[in-house]
């Protein structure tokens, strides 16, 4: 099945920001485009706005003036749905209400030909439910663009329960012909991105609610150690706290209030107070004129230890040994059967976040996971009230000697980056095991849809098969609510190699 022919008109119903963006994508790709909106005059206003954006593309050298003029000639506002009769594809981008979308597609079915593809851009509603009342649900699917649609490459092509394979394939190839990167996914709450991304926000909020760190520190650790482009607090301020919470609540409800997707009470209070983020002038941060963004907690300067003793395999943190040597600190090594750690001169231990807490041990400081310990500019440490100040000072001094800023947070299991990445990996494995998407499409979706530095499966391969499972299993032991219980899919993945080795 090939992409929709360029001579076939594409209609966009709903002319808000997303509708205009989708229309611009189809228009620049070469299709005739019809714009329709129930509000009188709105379609003409949208056509004018799209024309203005095409002018700016010409000014920036991103579009040829001749191509712009041709695109403008192909753009038509429609006064009635009947004017969409000859379209080969209709994409809906109206209000996120099931009844409104169902009513619209019922009316469209009376207008367009039977071979016209019908698509919803919903991000939170069930594609199956929207198309459930149609006479021909096989030609109905989801085309979930990301905002701003002309700039972001990802499109989730969502097959409802009744969607024909030929319809999904044609929509997929059409999105690719438009210069987008499509990923195929089944109709599941949140699709790929909004399902798997929930822990990025949830775990940051959980660390905050536990009073282990403030928003500025958590954001800095996610960026500077985890490699994420933005932290969870600044990103939700940008998205809008009401919008982000609504998606979380929708996914939670759609999964029958699964504890893994439980919304944050702290975010709920933020929304109730009207602090919705940048658009309201205040969210987690003050965005008022002249307001200064708070600085992350950064530890005072400490002396580095004269040496460290590396016992066992440090796993994902093994590259630290080379960095420590390069900093002029002696590294002594000793074989060990247990999980690896660094022993400091004062007798305390420095351990990679593993889902346990410092208070459980005699004298342990935990350090957080980093995407790349060489490139990381900040490392988080956690210690309990019983940890000796000598051990904590040596740990701080060690990472400072490696050129890192150090943030000391509260004694929470999994710290910040480790628990976040482990949960993302777990949800990714669970989604693939349940037929939502392929591993490749999941990684593509998370990199392009939310700008993760690595897809969950690429990250999992880097960390080792058992890392995410072990972190979550330990966290589940300390919080048996089910929130951190590893999925069966992750369990099978983590121990498949062990089983093969045991039978060889």
Please report which helix (H) or strand (E) contains residue 58, including its range. Answer: helix 42-59
Please name the residues in contact with 13: beta carbons below 8 A apart, sequence gap of 6 or more.
Answer: 19, 36, 37, 81, 84, 90, 91, 92, 93, 94, 104, 108
Strand ranges (E), 114-249: 117-120, 140-145, 154-159, 181-186
Assign 364 to helix, strand or coil.
strand
Q: Provide the token pair at 346.
A: 């004062």
Q: Is 244 left (phi over 0), alpha (psi -120 to 50) or beta?
A: alpha
Read off the DSSP letter of residue 277: B
Interatomic CA distance for residues 22 and 208, integer angstroms: 37
Q: Provide the token pair at 382.
A: 């956690």
The residues carrying an active-site annotation are 123, 144, 156, 194
DSSP notation for 317-343: GTTHHHHHHHTT-EEEEE--SS--EEE
Q: Which residues pair with 343 in a beta bridge?
A: 309, 349
Interatomic CA distance for residues 411 and 407, integer angstroms: 12
Assign 414 to helix, strand or coil.
coil
Alpha helices (runs of H) in 339-487, residue ranges in sequence order: 389-401, 417-433, 439-450, 456-463, 467-478
């Amino acid at each position: 099945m090939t992409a929709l022919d360029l001579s076939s008109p594409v209609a966009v119903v709903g002319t808000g920001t997303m509708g205009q963006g989708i229309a611009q994508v189809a228009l620049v790709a070469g299709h005739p485009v019809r714009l329709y909106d129930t509000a009188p005059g709105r379609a003409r206003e949208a056509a004018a706005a799209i024309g203005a954006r095409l002018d700016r593309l010409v000014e920036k050298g991103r579009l040829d003036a001749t191509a712009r003029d041709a695109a403008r000639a192909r753009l038509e506002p429609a006064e009635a749905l009947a004017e969409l009769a000859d379209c080969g594809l209709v994409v809906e981008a109206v209000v996120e209400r099931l009844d409104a979308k169902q009513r619209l597609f019922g009316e469209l079915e009376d207008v367009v030909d039977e071979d016209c593809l019908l698509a919803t851009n919903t991000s939170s509603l069930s594609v199956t439910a929207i198309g459930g009342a149609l006479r021909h649900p096989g030609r109905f699917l989801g085309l979930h663009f990301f905002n701003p649609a002309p700039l972001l490459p990802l499109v989730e092509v969502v097959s409802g329960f009744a969607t024909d394979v030929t319809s999904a394939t044609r929509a997929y190839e059409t999105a690719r012909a438009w210069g987008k990167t499509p990923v195929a996914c089944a109709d599941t709450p949140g699709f790929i991105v909004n399902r798997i991304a929930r822990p990025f926000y949830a775990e940051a909020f959980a660390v905050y609610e536990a009073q282990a760190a403030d928003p500025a520190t958590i954001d800095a650790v996610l960026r500077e150690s985890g490699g994420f482009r933005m932290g969870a607090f600044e990103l939700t301020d940008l998205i809008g706290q009401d919008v982000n919470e609504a998606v979380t609540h929708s996914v939670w409800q759609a999964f029958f209030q699964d504890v893994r997707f439980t919304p944050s009470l702290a975010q709920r209070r933020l929304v109730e107070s009207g602090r919705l983020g940048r658009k309201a002038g205040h969210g987690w941060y003050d965005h008022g004129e002249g307001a200064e963004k708070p600085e992350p907690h950064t530890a005072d300067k400490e002396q580095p230890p004269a040496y460290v003793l590396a016992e066992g395999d440090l796993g994902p943190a093994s590259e630290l040994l080379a960095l420590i040597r390069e900093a002029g600190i002696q590294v002594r090594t000793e074989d060990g059967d247990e999980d690896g750690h660094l022993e400091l001169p004062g007798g305390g231990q420095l351990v990679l976040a593993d889902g346990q807490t410092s208070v459980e041990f005699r004298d342990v400081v935990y350090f957080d996971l980093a995407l790349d310990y060489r490139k990381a500019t900040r490392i988080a440490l956690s210690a309990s009230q019983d940890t000796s100040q000598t051990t904590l000072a040596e740990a701080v001094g060690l990472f400072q000697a490696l050129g890192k800023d150090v943030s000391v947070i509260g004694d929470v299991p999994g710290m910040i980056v480790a628990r976040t990445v482990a949960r993302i990996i777990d949800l990714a494995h669970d989604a693939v095991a349940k037929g939502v998407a392929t591993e490749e499409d999941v990684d593509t979706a998370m990199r392009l849809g939310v700008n993760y530095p690595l897809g969950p499966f690429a990250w999992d391969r880097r960390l080792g098969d058992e890392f995410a499972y072990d972190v979550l299993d330990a966290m589940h032991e300390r919080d048996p609510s089910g929130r951190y219980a590893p999925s069966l899919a992750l369990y099978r993945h983590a121990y498949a190699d062990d089983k093969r080795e045991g039978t060889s």
